[in-house]
Amino acid sequence: MSDYMPFSDARILEWIKNLIAYLEANLARLGIDAATLTALKALLALFEAAYEKTGLPETSRLDTATKNAAKEELRSAIRDFVNSYIRYNKAVTDVDRMGMGLPIPDKKPTPTPPPTTAPLIELRLARIRQVIVAFKNEGSKKWGKPVGVHGAEIRWAVRDQRDVKDPPVEPTDLANSSFATKSPHTMEFSGAERGQTLDLCLRWENNVGDKGPWGEISSAIIP
């Protein structure tokens, strides 16, 4: 869900009061326990009291800071509640969402195009027997996978430096395969593999299994 909550103090107070009133009237049907709602009402009361205090002539900077902190705590609790009790709750209908002031999800899936770029990688040697693989999309300043991508397929092989074979040229030259859904991804090796060469390359895979082009083969000495 997008940011469905109003931000101004008066509007969010009104919005949350409506949400809680709707929940109170439908707790049993929606399968929500009363204790959870009681906790939200307590946070609402704290915010409302702090908000009302900032409307007085003698309002201080501390009063405003207290109100802002109470507001953010309430917003965070509401967001966690919606994610845990509403978003995937099969008892919640579109009519319920309208009544609570929540957006109605688009039930028509958006097609996910196959990846067209290859991951850029950085190999980090922070600890013995570990190689940390950080990856990002071409043109991105942040490490991680791009939108619509489930993760990165890793093709890799360990090559003894004393081996006279040429370094791998194609991804098919790499015998092993693994998958990383988060960057950085840690690869573990045995003590016997220390000092040998790790060769690897990555490609993106989207949420429906379509794969993008392979990136360049990179190498590092296993510490």
- The CATH class for the domain spanning 120-221 reads mainly beta
> How far apart (Å, rounded) are the C-alpha atoms in residues 214 and 113?
17
> How far apart (Å, rounded) are the C-alpha atoms in residues 15 and 112?
34
CA 113 to chain centre: 20
| Angle of CA points 199, 205, 211, to nearest 5° | 85
Domain ranges of the chain: 9-100, 120-221
pTM of the entire structure? Answer: 0.52
Task: Average pLDDT across each block of 10 residues of the chain; the chain has 223 residues. List them in order.
Answer: 80 95 95 93 95 88 93 93 91 94 80 90 93 93 91 93 76 93 94 93 92 95 94
Give pLDDT, residue 167: 85
Is 41 exposed, middle or buried (CB count within 10 Å of its CB: 0-12, 13-18, 19+)? middle
CB 154 within 8 A of CB 179: yes
CB atoms within 10 A of CB 36: 15
Which of 107, 135, 140 is closest to 205 using CA atoms?
A: 135
Give pLDDT, residue 162: 66
Give pLDDT, residue 208: 82
Which of 13, 14, 34 is closest to 23 using CA atoms?
A: 34
Q: Quick one: which H or E segment has residue 221? A: strand 218-221
